[in-house]
Chain A
Amino acid sequence: EPEVTQTPSHQVTQMGQEVILRCVPISNHLYFYWYRQILGQKVEFLVSFYNNEISEKSEIFDDQFSVERPDGSNFTLKIRSTKLEDSAMYFCASLRNTEAFFGQGTRLTVV
C-alpha cells in the first residue's frame, strides 16, 4: 500500500543552523501538508500546498519557514536559523479526496 515517507527520522542540529526535512507524498495525491507537534502538545498546522503553491499557512509559518516541491515527488520543509523552540516532531501528510495520510515524522532536536 502506498505510504508517505519522511527522512530523516531524527535530526539534531545546532541553534542557528538551517535544516531541510524531506517528504515523499503519495504520488497521485493533490494536497500536501506540514505539521509540527511539540512533545505532549497538539498537532499544529503549518502549511498546505496545492498545485505547486502554498494554499494556506498558519501564523507559525513565518519567514523562517519555506516549502518546496522541487521535482514532482519530494516535498521539503526548510527551517532557516533554527531556534531551541523549533524542537518538535514534524509530520508531512498528503490528501486523497478527503483522507489524509501521514508520514512517521522527523524528530528535530535543536541544541
Chain B
Amino acid sequence: SQKIEQNSEALNIQEGKTATLTCNYTNYSPAYLQWYRQDPGRGPVFLLLIRENEKEKRKERLKVTFDTTLKQSLFHITASQPADSATYLCALLSPYNQGGKLIFGQGTELSVKP
C-alpha cells in the first residue's frame, strides 16, 4: 500500500540554523510533492510544491528537493526563526486522471529556540 514517512522525531534547532526535514514514500508515483505547515488546532497551510520532473524549488527561505529515484524529498528552512516552529507535513498529489488523491505524511514537529 502507499506509504509516506517523515522524520518521526521532533526536530529542535537553534535560531539562525538550517532545518532539514525528510520525506520518503513507497508504492506511489505522484505527479506533485507538496509541503504544508500546520499549527496546533489549525488546518494545514500550503507552502511549496515540486513537480515530478523538477529536482529543486526555492521560495524565500524555503528549499525543496525531489529525487524520484530515491523516492525522497528534503525540505530546508534556512536562517530559521522561532516563528518557524510548527509541524511540517509532506503530501503527495496524484494526477487528476487518477483521482486527484492528496495524502499526507505524519508530519515532523520543528522547534526553533531563540
Contact = CB atoms under 8 A, between A and B. Distances in A.
Interface of A: 4, 31, 33, 35, 41-45, 48, 50, 55-56, 89, 91, 93, 95, 98-105
B23 to A, nearest CB: 13
A55 B99 contact: yes
A89 B41 CA distance: 8
Contact of B99 (A43, A48, A89, A100): A48
A21 B94 CA distance: 26
Interface residues of B, number: 25
A33 B74 CA distance: 26
Contacts of B38: 43
A64 to B, nearest CB: 20
A27 to B, nearest CB: 18
